[in-house]
Each structure stands twice: as structure tokens, then as C-alpha cells.
């Protein structure tokens, strides 16, 4: 059963916003706020616009401190690492980049960054030609039938992330991703990726990529090796998770903030992977072991900032598998990290 439309489509203006409309909307919200009801807003102001359209215009363009264009290399790195880790959760990625909107990042990724990293499709095909049968150019036509997945069940996003992952492995000195090291794919994951790219006629719709049973070894120097980052119990079940861990040389202080639907929440809910609430930065030379759980992690380290991505199949507690993705960032005197994690359900895509 369909839903009633949120507004009278016939009497609503669409298309680009005029400066007058912008001014009306901005001055009203500056003065009175949104009132928590976008649908009613345009009527109050006298705008012939859908409430959703007003919301979008405000969030993506009119609200204060919005940045447009001019993405920095650091922002590129964060977007890339988060995309590999959590996929197209643009709102979560945007939350890590102050002043950026999910729409902006999504557009930037689709139109520029993806091409910058992966190159053109023909180049991808050429790279894959040694081991695969060329078929990739059918993807656009596939949209009618299967807009979000390949015939073997891997989502296009997951496939793209795998391709990106493999591509980055081959680029020891990618000028864009300076000093960035990525964990290698497990041979079995690699095999499945190639199979996914080859197997045009496969009917397998439940393909899952297994996780590695051990941490990835890497050689990236990381200033925090040997230190221990304390993480307080955190409500993992929250829609969006944000944690901040602050460390200093010998003493460890922890500030943990969990955001549940925009509301700060410090309730107790410790996932099994965070044994003793410790994230132990082990001597794996950039790989991290976390509470003894099975996980993989990659990092990028430019000397002052390290960004980590990791995923685990131990992301569960109280017999509940959480299917939410989350992210946390931590800062210390000598480094700051931005991390993203994936739950076991999603991890199969990687």
C-alpha cells in the first residue's frame, strides 16, 4: 500500500531555488528555527515548496558553515577509507567531515574521487582482462533489472569497494593516498571478487565473503604502538555511534560519547569485542588487536594524523548481532584517528 504524498505535488514549485526563496527560508529559520516540522514550514513562510525540499535546501546549502568544493587531500583520504569500510553511508561519512554534507560527498565521490582512485572503466577492464572475461560494461544496462546488485549477489557498492581495495593494494605510492597502506585481501576474498566479476550467469544470491581469522600484518609506523587506548562501555546498538578517546603519555583519560538519534547517551552496553574496555594498540606495526576479537584493520598515517578502518566478526553482545555500522574517532597528544567499524552482518560484503 502506498503512502499519501507529503504535499500537493500539483501546487508545489520544483527545480532550482531563487535567491528570493532562499532569503525567505533562511531569514525565517534564523529567526524562528524549523519548529521541528518541515512539512508545515513552507506554508508558514508562504513558499510554494515541498517541506522536504525546504529541508534539503537548508541542510545542503543555506545552513551556516557549509563548505562547497575544494576537498582537501585529507578529506579525500577520510572519504576513501570510510567508503571502503562502511560503503555508501554518506551521512556517516559526512559526520566525520565538518561543514560537508552527505549530498556533497556523495556527488564528489560519484563524479570525481571514484574516478581519481579507480581510473576509468576501460582501465579497470584492462587490469582485470588478464584473469576475467570482459563484461563490466553491462552494469549500466543492468540498472533496470537489478539496480543495486550483481547477478551473484554482491552489491555494486561492495564490488566497487573490493575493486578499490585491490586497486589500492597495487599502488604502493599512490600520489593521492600518500603513505597509505591497506591490508591485503585474503586470497579467498580475492578469489571471490574475481568470481564475482566473472560469473555473469551465476544465480547465487547469498554470496558472502568470510572474514579473516587473524589481524592483518602491516608495516606502517604508528606513533601509538605500545600504548593502550581505553574505551568506555558504549551503547553499540545506537543508530550512530561516536566515541572520543583521549590519551596522554602515561595516564589515560577517556571521554566516551554515544549519539543515539542525535541524543547523547552514556548507557552501559559493552560489546564482547571490547574486552576489559581496552583497545590494545599492539606491536603489529599498524595492525591492531582489539580485545582478542577477530578483525581486520587498515590505517593511513601521514605523520600527524592516522585514519583507521577496521571490521570485525565479533561485533555482537547478548546474543544480538548488530547490523548497524558505527564510527569513532580518537585524539591524543601526538595523533588523532578516525575509525569506522562494521558489524558481522555487513562484514560479509567485504
Question: Applying CB under 7 A, which of residues 26, 48, 67, 107 lies at the interface with DNA?
Answer: 107
Q: State the Cα angle at 298 between 297 and 300, rounded to 5°.
A: 145
Q: Residue 48: CA atoms inside 13 Å, Cβ hemisphere, count?
A: 9
Q: Does 123 bind DNA (CB under 7 A)?
A: no
Of 50 and 128, nearer to DNA (C-beta) is 50
Q: Does 73 bind DNA (CB under 7 A)?
A: no
Question: Applying CB under 7 A, which of residues 42, 78, 81, 89 lies at the interface with DNA?
Answer: 89
Q: How far is CA 312 from CA 242, 271, 273, 326, in A?
A: 17, 12, 8, 12
Site for DNA in 209-228 (CB under 7 A): none
Which helix (DSSP H) or strand (DSSP E) does residue 264 occupy? strand 263-265
The string over 187-216, giving b where at least 16 C-beta atoms fall within 10 Å of a residue's C-beta and e elsewhere, is eebbebbeebbbbeeeeeeebebebbeebb
Binding mask 140-169 for DNA (x = CB under 7 A): ---x---xx--------x------------
Q: Does 20 bind DNA (CB under 7 A)?
A: no
For the sheet with 295-301, list strands across it: 180-181, 295-301, 305-312, 336-341, 326-332, 244-247, 252-255
Q: Does 19 bind DNA (CB under 7 A)?
A: no
Of 116 and 184, nearer to DNA (C-beta) is 116
Residue whose C-alpha is closest to residue 183's, from 287, 307, 75: 287
The CA distance from 266 to 256, in Å, is 7
Question: Applying CB under 7 A, which of residues 24, 57, 100, 342 lies at the interface with DNA?
Answer: 57
Q: Does 15 bind DNA (CB under 7 A)?
A: yes
Q: Do the beta carbons of residue 287 and residue 63 sit within 8 Å?
A: no
Among the candidate windows 30-38, 176-184, 222-230, 337-345, which touches DNA by CB under 7 A? Answer: 30-38
Question: Applying CB under 7 A, which of residues 90, 295, 322, 328 lies at the interface with DNA?
Answer: 90
Among the candidate windows 29-37, 166-174, 198-206, 288-296, which touches DNA by CB under 7 A? Answer: 29-37
Q: Which residues bind DNA (CB under 7 A)?
A: 2-4, 6, 9, 13-17, 34, 36-40, 49-53, 55-57, 60-61, 68-69, 88-92, 102-104, 106-108, 110-112, 115, 143, 147-148, 157, 239-240, 261
Amino acid at each position: 500500500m502506498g503512502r499519501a504524498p507529503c504535499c500537493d505535488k500539483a501546487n508545489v514549485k520544483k527545480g532550482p531555488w531563487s535567491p528570493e526563496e532562499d532569503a525567505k527560508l533562511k531569514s525565517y529559520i534564523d529567526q524562528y528555527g524549523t519548529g521541528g516540522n518541515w512539512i508545515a514550514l513552507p506554508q508558514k513562510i508562504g513558499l510554494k515548496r515541498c517541506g522536504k525540499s525546504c529541508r534539503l535546501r537548508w541542510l545542503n546549502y543555506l545552513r551556516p558553515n557549509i563548505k562547497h568544493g575544494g576537498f582537501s587531500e585529507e578529506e579525500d583520504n577520510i572519504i576513501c577509507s570510510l567508503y571502503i569500510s562502511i560503503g555508501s553511508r554518506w551521512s556517516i561519512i559526512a559526520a566525520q567531515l565538518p561543514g560537508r554534507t552527505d549530498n556533497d560527498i556523495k556527488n564528489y565521490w560519484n563524479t570525481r574521487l571514484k574516478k581519481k582512485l579507480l581510473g576509468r572503466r576501460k582501465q579497470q577492464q584492462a587490469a582485470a582482462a588478464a584473469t576475467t572475461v570482459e563484461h563490466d560494461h553491462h552494469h549500466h544496462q543492468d540498472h533496470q533489472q537489478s539496480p543495486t546488485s550483481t547477478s551473484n549477489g554482491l552489491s555494486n557498492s561492495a564490488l566497487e569497494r573490493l575493486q578499490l581495495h585491490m586497486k589500492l593494494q597495487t599502488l604502493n605510492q599512490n600520489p593521492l593516498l600518500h603513505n597509505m597502506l591497506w591490508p591485503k585481501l585474503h586470497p579467498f576474498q580475492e578469489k571471490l571478487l574475481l568470481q564475482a566479476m566473472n560469473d555473469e550467469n551465476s544465480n547465487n544470491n547469498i554470496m558472502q565473503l568470510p572474514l579473516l581469522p587473524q589481524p592483518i600484518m602491516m608495516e606502517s609506523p604508528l606513533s601509538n604502538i605500545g600504548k593502550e587506548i581505553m574505551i568506555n562501555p558504549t551503547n553499540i546498538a545506537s543508530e550512530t555511534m561516536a566515541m572520543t578517546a583521549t590519551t596522554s603519555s602515561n595516564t589515560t583519560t577517556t571521554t566516551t560519547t554515544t549519539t543515539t538519534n542525535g541524543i547523547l547517551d552514556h548507557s552501559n552496553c559493552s560489546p564482547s569485542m571490547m574486552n576489559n574496555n581496552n583497545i590494545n594498540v599492539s606491536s603489529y606495526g599498524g595492525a591492531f588487536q582489539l580485545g582478542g576479537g577477530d578483525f581486520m584493520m587498515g590505517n593511513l598515517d601521514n605523520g600527524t594524523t592516522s585514519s583507521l578502518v577496521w571490521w570485525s566478526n565479533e561485533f555482537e553482545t547478548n546474543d544480538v548481532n548488530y547490523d548497524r555500522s558505527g564510527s569513532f574517532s580518537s585524539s591524543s597528544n601526538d595523533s588523532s584517528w578516525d575509525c569506522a567499524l562494521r558489524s558481522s552482518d555487513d562484514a560479509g560484503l567485504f
